[in-house]
């Protein structure tokens, strides 16, 4: 029984020390009151603060719904802490947004759909998914065929940024005409027109935010929204990019056309004063060293000019 007062005293002291440690933080320093109080040299992990209001393509996101906020916080956290991939994607915005934005405007597609492109491929035109979706817009072979985009093992125009953007815009325009909602059009880019339409009919709802979908599609629009928030205010979410950190658009190139048969791309590159490596950087739709081109199709090829390899210096 004499041990009881000693034990109680020890517990009280432990609690006091624990409280003091919690107040001080690591190393005896005061614990930060907010994320903004964390020193610059630290790498804080924090739950992102969401804005009070948010729209996608002019359509309101109902952040007052608990499940909507939670879903967006989840995707924001995933996107924020995939550091290397997200940083690379942010750096590429200055290279590819100037290419895709005018095409989107031509088709009347809201600018927010450029964030769909970020979510799909990380703005890497060479991306190939395990299921065969390819290019900046991750077009499936069937969708490419529907919109007249050539695919193949030697030439695949899904990897041509301009051509793929045209096809994606045509799809999104068709989806909007069907649903009357840009948010549902975005969801259908992942789940397909038939998949979204069938679930809308079965569930008897009209809004994406009322629709139950497969998990991948349930998360898809929120992933797009996460890229919108990060791109518009990167520093708020822990990404500090200087102007020089953004990658430049490709400059110092000319275009030529070719419709010859039995094309040897290395030989073609050499005749144009460059090499196969640089040719592939500018033309990722070229997928092999040779191409028979039996139909004599005409292709427009980007050729580097003086100063191309010094871009961004």
Catalytic residue annotation: 120
Give the separation between CA 37 and CA 127, rounded to whole angstroms. 39
d(CA 210, CA 306): 55
CA dist 155 and 160 (Å) reads 10
* CA–CA distance, 254 with 307 (Å, rounded to integer): 12
Q: Are 204 and 225 in contact (CB under 8 A)?
A: no
- How many Å apart are CA 170 and CA 103, to the nearest integer? 10
Long-range contacts of 40-47 (CB under 8 A, 24+ apart): 44/238, 45/81, 47/73, 47/77
Residue linked to tokens 């301009």: 162
**109 neighbors 173 (Cβ within 8 angstroms):** yes
């Amino acid at each position: 029984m004499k041990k009881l007062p000693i034990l109680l005293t020890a517990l009280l002291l432990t609690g006091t020390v624990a409280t003091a440690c919690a107040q001080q933080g690591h190393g005896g320093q005061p614990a930060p009151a907010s994320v903004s109080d964390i020193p610059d040299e630290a790498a804080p992990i924090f739950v992102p603060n969401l804005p009070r209001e948010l729209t996608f393509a002019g359509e309101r996101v109902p952040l007052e719904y608990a499940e909507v906020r939670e879903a967006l916080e989840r995707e924001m956290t995933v996107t924020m802490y995939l550091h290397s991939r997200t940083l690379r994607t942010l750096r590429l915005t200055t290279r590819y947004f100037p290419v895709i934005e005018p095409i989107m405007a031509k088709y009347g597609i809201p600018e927010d759909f450029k964030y769909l492109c970020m979510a799909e491929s990380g703005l890497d035109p060479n991306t190939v998914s395990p299921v065969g979706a390819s290019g900046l817009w991750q077009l499936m072979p069937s969708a490419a065929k529907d919109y007249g985009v050539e695919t193949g093992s030697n030439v695949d125009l899904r990897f041509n940024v301009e051509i793929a953007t045209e096809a994606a815009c045509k799809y999104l325009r068709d989806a909007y005409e069907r649903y009357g909602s840009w948010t549902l059009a975005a969801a259908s880019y992942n789940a397909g027109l038939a998949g979204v339409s069938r679930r809308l009919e079965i569930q008897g709802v009209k809004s994406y935010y009322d629709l139950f979908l497969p998990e991948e599609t349930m998360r898809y629009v929120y992933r797009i929204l996460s890229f919108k928030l990060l791109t518009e205010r990167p520093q708020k979410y822990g990404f500090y990019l200087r102007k020089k950190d953004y990658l430049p658009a490709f400059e110092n190139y000319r275009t030529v056309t070719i419709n010859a048969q039995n094309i040897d791309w290395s030989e073609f590159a050499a005749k144009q004063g460059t090499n196969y490596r640089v040719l592939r950087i500018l033309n990722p739709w070229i997928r092999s060293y040779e191409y028979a081109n039996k139909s004599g199709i005409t292709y427009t090829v980007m050729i580097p000019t003086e100063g191309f390899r010094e871009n961004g210096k």
